[in-house]
Amino acid sequence: MANHCRPQGQKPPALRRSSMSDRRTSISIDERPSPPRRDGIAAGGRNPQRANGMESVGAAPDPPTEWNHEELHVEGELAGFGDDEGLQGVFSQDFAWLSQEHDGDQDGALASTSTHDDRAETSATEGDGATGYRFSYSAHKAGMNQVDRAKINARIAELSKGSAYYENEERKSEANRQRELRLLDQVREMRPIAQSEPHRAKIARRIAELEATRDLTQTIVHLDMDAFYASVEERDLPELKTKPMAVGSTMMLCTANYEARKYGVRAAMPGYIAQQLCPELVIIPLHFDKYRAISEQVRAILRDYDQDMRTAGLDECYLNLTAYMQSHDLSDPQPIVQEMRDRIVEKTQLTASAGIAPNAMLAKVCSDLNKPNGQYYLAPEHETVVNFTNKLLMRRISGVGRVTEHLLKTLGVETCADFVREAAILSLVLSEKAFGFLLQSALGLGNSFWSNTSPQKSISTERTFRATRDAAAWDSTLSSLVAELHTELESSSRLTRHLTVKVKSASFRVRQAGRTLHKYTTQTTDLLPVARTLLAEAVAAVTAQDGGAEISMLRLLGVRVSDLIDRGVLEKRGIARFLIRPGAETGTARAAAATVESVKSAAGSDRAMAEASSSADAPRDRDPVDEAVCPVCHVVSFPASMTETAMVRHIDECLNLAALRTRGASTVAEPEVAVVASPRKRAAPASGPPSPARPSKKPARLSTRSDKRKGGSSGSRKLDDFFAPADA
């Protein structure tokens, strides 16, 4: 059979770097050290026995339990905006195949056709043993193949015993074991249904429908800088290459070089533990300004191949080479990728690894298969892709972490082929969203994201620091994080309408609070006050969970903005006309005349678009601008399906309430309008600026109460009625 999945790329010996990737969503895995491994593969070399990319490439390492990070991370999904493993809800950039509901690491490995020693070792060290479950740092990293994994894990557990981290891991381990027991009970209960012919036929149809969406026409590249932070520091201080060195702090390491890995030191390990394992370890502080500058140099090179390339942190990028290859009449992407990697070395003296595949998910997998300084090509042929995916461990899928991995192993599911085989029962015991995500991934179906217009979901940043209950320090950190998000929003020409604040206490408990804003914005003057309110709510929640005797000490703060919209889209669709500055809405008919027509026009346009798209067979994701926003209260949205009468009724009530408040309290800077309240309860006039409203868990319901004020019932009025002269 032809060699369709060829690892490629030879490393210049003088430029070989540690291959630890510094992404926050995961730790890159299975990088190849220069000495041959037991499978006979040297770093950057070829293995004839791996011609089709099916052989085992090692077992999955475990996700970081925490990260000392300051860089921005853009949606698929940032370590930490969730509670599961401290990594759930990791938001990388723009990838529908990442989900907040899934564990945020992306580690894993290909499985061989027979039981591999790595898999047996994984079971032995991560299985039912309490220590293995909690402290399962993997040694399957480049430069760590000679490390005694069991000994290192035991040592880490010993050093951690009695700490808040250890106690938190014990709590989570017990909770996960109970969760597994409940899952087994559900499986026993649901097995008869899963084995029924109608249900199996239903799942078979669903798989067939997914298969019909497979797109092999795209050429996607995932490029990952090898051990980015460590490589930068070694480049600038060559003497570090021969010393055990890590980048980070005594609290948490972001990466480690090859010398340090010989002692079991690796990323996502507390620095003080690493120093116990390797007393000679040199810890270099993070230099994010330097990393950002080099990252921009790399991106400038990559834009020559794809102007719309997407970033996933400072060290990762996704490119679609389809258009470039067509414009240059090329059929083989491998020389192109080799060229861009050579240019990166020439410009930065740093190496990069790459994966080439028909979609982003598979490209991500492939980029890890020949690390460091190599590339791996998965040919866009149906049989080749299916065979490759069938051998893939579920842990390898972006968004599957150790908790999900353990749950799946409980059901006898390790590989993608196992998941598809057990899809009937899994569909009954997993949530619909989780099952859909995992099934699509297990089939090797991922997004190319250039073939659709799905928007970026969120941007976030977080920071770890020494545990403190100093409110001034919290506020300083919070202000810094909000400023970073403001800069990122402005540079990407996006606005946000939802803010989330996350905290982690000294006991490693995580809580978060979120709120929908009254308008789309990028300004710190809008974001910071809400962030402070949310911080207070999150601190109160985590304090209650910690026992409530005194305010909890915090060791991490994070901020995420979501519900993003491109500034150009906002202006094009006309919603910018509804984002009236505070004080601009006076409740007069003259102001209404300028805004209601915008509502009418935008709503009519939305209805036309909805009608034009209603014939589409596949449902589409809801666009945040599919709804016009009330120009008075900025709270209630008008969906395309809303009638003109309902819009008029709502706007009329808002204007009258605003006018009443203006007469009753002339100091009100921004009227608070009760538009979502129960028809039996009307909000009292505000006497001061309103606090941000909590988002309701139930759908907003507009009041249908008849308006008995002058002018008759609002139900009989029309939009044109608002265009009467102001003095009428």
Q: Each residue of 405-442: pLDDT tens digit?
A: 888 998 899 999 999 999 999 999 999 999 999 999 99
Same domain (yes/no): 174, 260 = yes
d(CA 21, CA 225): 7
Q: Which two tokens stand for residue 86?
A: 């401290």
Range scoring the smallest mean pLDDT among 163-177, 302-316, 506-520, 638-652 = 638-652
Same domain (yes/no): 335, 479 = no
- Given a contact cutoff of 8 angstroms between Cβ atoms, the answer to whether 141 and 441 are in contact is no
Same domain (yes/no): 319, 468 = no
Same domain (yes/no): 227, 113 = yes
Q: Is the pLDDT of residue 175 over 80?
A: yes
Collect all residues with Cβ–Cβ distance below 8 Å to 532 and sequence separation of at least 6: 475, 478
Looking at residue 176, its amino acid is: N
Report pLDDT for 373: 92
Q: Among 536, 568, 600, where does a domain finish?
A: 568
d(CA 369, CA 7): 8
Percent of the chain with pLDDT over 90: 38
Q: Is residue 333 a part of any domain in this protein? A: yes
Report pLDDT for 515: 95
In whole numbers, what is the pLDDT of the chain averaged over residues?
A: 71
> pLDDT band for position 531 (50/70/90)?
very high
Label residues 308-337 b or e (16+ Cβ within 10 Å = b). ebbbbbbbbbbbbbbebbeeeeeeebeebb
Q: Which two tokens stand for residue 673?
A: 């309008």
- Taken as a whole, the chain contains a residue count of 728
Report pLDDT for 143: 54
Same domain (yes/no): 500, 422 = no
Report pLDDT for 231: 93
Same domain (yes/no): 445, 462 = no
> pLDDT band for position 400 (50/70/90)?
confident
Report pLDDT for 630: 76
Q: Among 449, 482, 516, where does a domain finish?
A: 449
Mean pLDDT of 127-147: 52
> pLDDT band for position 372 (50/70/90)?
confident
d(CA 267, CA 688): 50
Half-sphere exposure of 663 (CA within 13 A, CB side): 7
Q: Is residue 496 a part of any domain in this protein? A: yes
Encode pLDDT of 566-617 as tens digits.
888 887 765 445 544 444 444 444 444 444 444 444 444 444 333 333 333 3
576 SS3 class: helix
Report pLDDT for 134: 54
Mean pLDDT of 147-159: 77
Same domain (yes/no): 116, 187 = yes
Same domain (yes/no): 55, 28 = yes
Report pLDDT for 560: 96
- Pairing between β-strand 458-468 and β-strand 565-566 as defined by DSSP bridges: unpaired
Q: Is the pLDDT of residue 234 over 70?
A: yes
Q: Is the pLDDT of residue 205 over 90?
A: yes
- Given a contact cutoff of 8 angstroms between Cβ atoms, the answer to whether 607 and 640 are in contact is yes
> pLDDT band for position 367 (50/70/90)?
very high
Instruction: Output the CA torsion 275→278→280→283 (10° steps).
Output: -50
For the chain, helix (H) and strand (E) counts, in that order, are: 22, 17
Q: Is the pLDDT of residue 486 over 90?
A: yes
Report pLDDT for 4: 43
Report pLDDT for 640: 62
Please count the other Cβ atoms lying within 10 Å of the Cβ belonging to residue 204: 12
Same domain (yes/no): 526, 627 = no
State which of 132-136, 470-474, 704-708 shows the largest mean pLDDT.
470-474
Report pLDDT for 403: 83
Same domain (yes/no): 562, 614 = no
What's the Cα-to-Cα distance from 438 to each of 98, 383, 690, rounded to whole Å? Answer: 10, 20, 43
Q: Is the pLDDT of residue 115 over 80?
A: no
* C-alpha closest to that of 599 among 567, 564, 633: 633
Cα of 28 vs its chain's centroid, Å: 16
- Cβ-based burial of 288 (10 A; exposed 0-12, middle 13-18, buried ≥19): middle
Q: What angle do CA 516, 518, 522 make, to 5 degrees?
A: 85
Range scoring the smallest mean pLDDT among 191-195, 261-265, 513-517 = 261-265
Q: Is the pLDDT of residue 480 over 60?
A: yes
What's the Cα-to-Cα distance from 23 to each of 46, 108, 217, 257, rounded to whole Å? Answer: 27, 15, 28, 15
- Given a contact cutoff of 8 angstroms between Cβ atoms, the answer to whether 64 and 267 are in contact is yes
Domain range enclosing 696: 579-723
Which strands sit side by side in the sheet containing 220-225, from one edge to the other?
7-8, 375-377, 352-357, 220-225, 316-320, 310-311
Q: Is residue 573 a part of any domain in this protein? A: no
- Given a contact cutoff of 8 angstroms between Cβ atoms, the answer to whether 230 and 20 are in contact is yes
Q: Is residue 274 a part of any domain in this protein? A: yes
Encode pLDDT of 257-298 as tens digits.
878 888 888 888 888 889 989 999 999 999 989 999 999 999
Encode pLDDT of 445-464 as tens digits.
987 765 444 566 889 898 98
What's the Cα-to-Cα distance from 634 to each of 319, 557, 655, 692, rounded to whole Å? Answer: 38, 29, 12, 12
Q: Among 449, 478, 498, where does a domain finish?
A: 449
Q: Is the pLDDT of residue 519 over 50?
A: yes
Between 146 and 504, the more confident residue is 504
**CATH number of the domain that residue 562 is part of:** 3.30.1490.100
Q: Which two tokens stand for residue 548?
A: 């409530």
d(CA 138, CA 148): 10
| Residue 77 DSSP one-character state | B
Report pLDDT for 455: 61
- Given a contact cutoff of 8 angstroms between Cβ atoms, the answer to whether 223 and 319 are in contact is yes
- Given a contact cutoff of 8 angstroms between Cβ atoms, the answer to whether 501 and 529 are in contact is no
Mean pLDDT of 150-159: 79
Report pLDDT for 529: 95
What's the Cα-to-Cα distance from 74 to each of 92, 480, 481, 554, rounded to whole Å? Answer: 5, 17, 14, 24
Q: What are the catalytic residues?
A: 316
Contacts 24+ apart (CB under 8 A), 325-334: 325/219, 333/219, 333/221, 333/377, 334/6, 334/8, 334/375, 334/377
Encode pLDDT of 319-347 as tens digits.
999 999 999 999 999 999 999 999 999 99
Encode pLDDT of 65-80 as tens digits.
333 333 343 333 333 3
Mean pLDDT of 680-706: 44
- Cβ-based burial of 355 (10 A; exposed 0-12, middle 13-18, buried ≥19): buried
Q: What angle do CA 18, 22, 25 make, to 5 degrees?
A: 140
Encode pLDDT of 677-692 as tens digits.
334 444 444 444 444 4
Between 565 and 137, the more confident residue is 565
Q: Is residue 52 a part of any domain in this protein? A: yes
Q: Is residue 574 a part of any domain in this protein? A: no
Q: Is residue 527 a part of any domain in this protein? A: yes
What's the Cα-to-Cα distance from 174 to each of 170, 177, 245, 296, 546, rounded to whole Å? Answer: 6, 5, 35, 44, 18
Half-sphere exposure of 542 (CA within 13 A, CB side): 27
| Residue 110 DSSP one-character state | B
Q: Is the pLDDT of residue 45 over 70?
A: no
d(CA 273, CA 259): 16
Q: Is residue 728 a part of any domain in this protein? A: no
Instruction: Output the CA torsion 528→529→535→540 (10° steps).
Output: 180
Structural domains counted in the chain? 3
Same domain (yes/no): 546, 595 = no
Report pLDDT for 687: 45
Report pLDDT for 327: 95
**At how many degrees (to 10) do helices 197-211 and 164-194 cross?**
110
Same domain (yes/no): 176, 31 = yes
